[in-house]
Amino acid sequence: MNVPQIKYGKKLTYYDHIYNFFATLSGLTIFNFEFARQLFIPPMEIAEIKKHMYELGVKTLGIVSITGFIIGLVLTMQSQPVMQRFGATDFLPAMVSISVVRELGPVITALIFAGRVSSGIGAELGSMRVTEQIDAMEVSAINPFKYLVITRVIATTMILPLLTIYVIIIALLGGFLAIILSDSMSLQYYLNSVGDALQFGDFIPGVAKTFVFGYIVGIVGAYKGYTAEGGTEGVGRASTTAVVLSSLLILIFDMILVKITLWLWPTLG
C-alpha cells in the first residue's frame, strides 16, 4: 500500500520532490481501494467508531466554537462599512448567512478539523508503526487495517458534518453580535432576514460536501501514519505532511464540488 519514496536523509532535487508527490498520490489511491475492499468485512467495530467519534468531536469542539464565532464576527464587521456605503445594511444578515452556510462554514471547519485531527491520526498510527505495534497486531491475528484505519475514517466522515452545522449556528450568532455593536437591529429582525435569505437547498450542498472533507481528513491521516517509517523523525514527518496534504485536497475537492453543486442546482448560482 505504500509506494516507495526517495528518502529525506539527503538534499532532494526538484525532480525528487515531484517523484515523492506522485508516489504519495499513488500510495493514497491504493490505500483508498484497500479501504473500500475491507469496509464491509466483519466485524464492524461499532464500539471503536463510537469512541473515536466522541473523542474527535469533543476535543475539536472548543477550537471550532471559537473559529466559528470569529468567522461570523469578522465577516460582518468587514462587510458592514461596504454595505453602508451603498445603503444596503438591511441585506447584511442575508449576505453573511449565505456566505457562512454555503462556503465559509464548511471549508474553514474542515481545515481546522484537518489541522487538529489529521495530524493526530498520523502521529498516533505513525508511532504504532515505528514501534512495531501494528506488526504485533498482525502476528496476533488481528486485522490492524480494520481496527485502526477504517474505524477512524468512518468516525471523521460522520463527525465533521455535525461540527459544521454547529459552527454555522455559532457563526450566525457572531454575526448578530457584530451588528448590534454598531447598529440597532433586533434579534427578531436578524433571524427573519436570515430565514428569508436561506433556502433548504443552501444547506444541502454545504453540509453534504463535509462528508467528503471528513473522509479526506481521516484517510490521509491514516495513510501517512500507517505507512510511516524512519523512527521518530518519520512520525513527525507523517503528522506534518498529513495536515498539508489533507488541507490541499480539501481545497481542491471544494472547488470540484462547488462546480458540481452549481450544475445540479442552477438556482444556487
DSSP character string of 181-247: HHS---HHHHHHHHHHH--HHHHHHHHHHHHHHHHHHHHHHHHHHHT--SHHHHHHHHHHHHHHHHH
CA–CA distance, 121 with 113 (Å, rounded to integer): 12
Q: The pTM is what?
A: 0.89
Find where cell 473515536 sits.
Answer: 52
Place of cell 506488526: 135
pLDDT of residue 73: 92
Amino acid identity, position 123: A
pLDDT band at 91 (very low <50, low <70, confident <90, very high): confident
What pLDDT score was predicted for residue 213?
A: 97
Confidence of residue 17 (pLDDT cuts 50, 70, 90): low
The predicted pLDDT at position 2 comes to: 58
- Higher-pLDDT residue of 9 and 215 is 215
Question: Is residue 10 scored above 70 in pLDDT?
Answer: no
CA 31 vs CA 44, 79, 178, 263: distances in Å: 19, 44, 45, 30
Per-residue pLDDT averaged across 15-36, rounded? 84
**62 contact partners, CB below 8 Å, separation of at least 6:** none
pLDDT in tens, 59-78: 889 999 999 999 999 998 88
pLDDT tens per residue, range 92-122: 888 889 899 988 999 999 999 999 999 999 9
pLDDT at 266 over 70: no
Q: What is the gyration radius of the CA atoms in the chain, in angstroms?
A: 21
Of 240, 18, 233, residue with least CA distance to 115: 240
As a whole number, the mean pLDDT across the chain is 86
The region of weakest confidence among 3-12, 22-31, 88-97, 255-264 is: 3-12
